[in-house]
Structure 1
């Protein structure tokens, strides 16, 4: 059984301002880099320096920088998961979440409560993103032995969707503030059969 260590990329200026980042490439702030250093210490303490077989990161600068710090602590070389870009929020990218809430309250509420029913203008739907994520994860897991522990660093809301695809739980709170989220979580994954999405082990 694989174990995925799902790590959320550390803080960017857009996180601090409450802006929708999407596919815009925003690097870590100085505070974000300090977060990554503390996160590396926490992970090595919790998991052990030799527990993780490989570490992957989304192509975004924030994920890459976070992964580089973790990889150094884990004595690994970070790899890029090319197809695991963040969700494309189209014309919403760069906007304050509060502006969307104020100017489009019905759409904002629908996005919060039923995000799979909303597609940002000129952006990517949650359903399309889930399909892309599932396919990328299948390919990633095939590269490793069934008992490997793999780390994946991803920005929000991609990280939340990755967790949803693996656990098959409800999609919710995609715009939850970064500071209110857990920094990392371990998700056990049953070996996937050919052509099927990875699934978590029943609890």
Structure 2
């Protein structure tokens, strides 16, 4: 069985300040570009039968800087649409909604550009991505996904057969590499948050 590598995009100004960055296309900071280049060293010598990237610029640029060639755009890999919480920090949200937790309470509707998305919807999207990846892994080949923090955490939960909200259990920093795979036929976590 092959392995599924996950790459979170490099640092952006909003990820550095803790702002929820869903569909707003924020570029990498110079530090984020340096982080993305460091991922290339972690992937040195790896080849991928399938490489998929979020269409958002921060993920695409990370893929390029990490030396991942031929990555196909996959719309289902965009980050969680945070709706009215787009661009706002958790502390700012908690000033309005004390005790708020994204994984439990979700998001509020936003505008036409950011209408908001439930965690169940994010789970459905990552399930479609995993359906696309599994045949590649079953053929003994490797795949790589370049995407976003919360999205990849939900994807990991779903890979392990957990509900989408259990993505809360997997902290994922910027420009980190994680690996999903199998122990015999059982989906497992092989490596997490590696830099």
Aligned counterpart, 1:55: 51
The equivalences for 1:123-142 within 5 A come to: 123-142=116-135
Q: Closer, same or farther in 2 for the Cα pair 1:202/1:92, shift >3 Å? A: closer
Unaligned runs of 5+ in 2: 110-115, 191-195
The equivalences for 1:1-203 within 5 A come to: 1-44=1-44, 49-70=45-66, 72=67, 76-106=69-99, 108-109=100-101, 111=102, 115=103, 117-122=104-109, 123-142=116-135, 146-169=139-162, 170-172=166-168, 178=173, 183-189=176-182, 200=187
Unaligned runs of 5+ in 1: 193-198
- Using the TM superposition, name which of 88-97 and 164-173 deviates more: 164-173
Deviation at 1:53, TM superposition (A): 2.7
Deviation at 1:172, TM superposition (A): 1.3
Contact 1:11/1:28, CA 8 A, preserved across alignment: yes
Q: Normalising by the residue count of structure 1, what TM-score does the alignment of the two structures yield?
A: 0.77
Q: Normalising by the residue count of structure 2, what TM-score does the alignment of the two structures yield?
A: 0.80
User: Equivalents in 1 of 2:56, 2:73: separation in Å?
Assistant: 9
User: Equivalents in 2 of 1:5, 1:81: separation in Å?
Assistant: 15
Aligned counterpart, 1:195: none
Contact 1:91/1:121, CA 8 A, preserved across alignment: yes
Deviation at 1:167, TM superposition (A): 1.4
Deviation at 1:171, TM superposition (A): 2.9
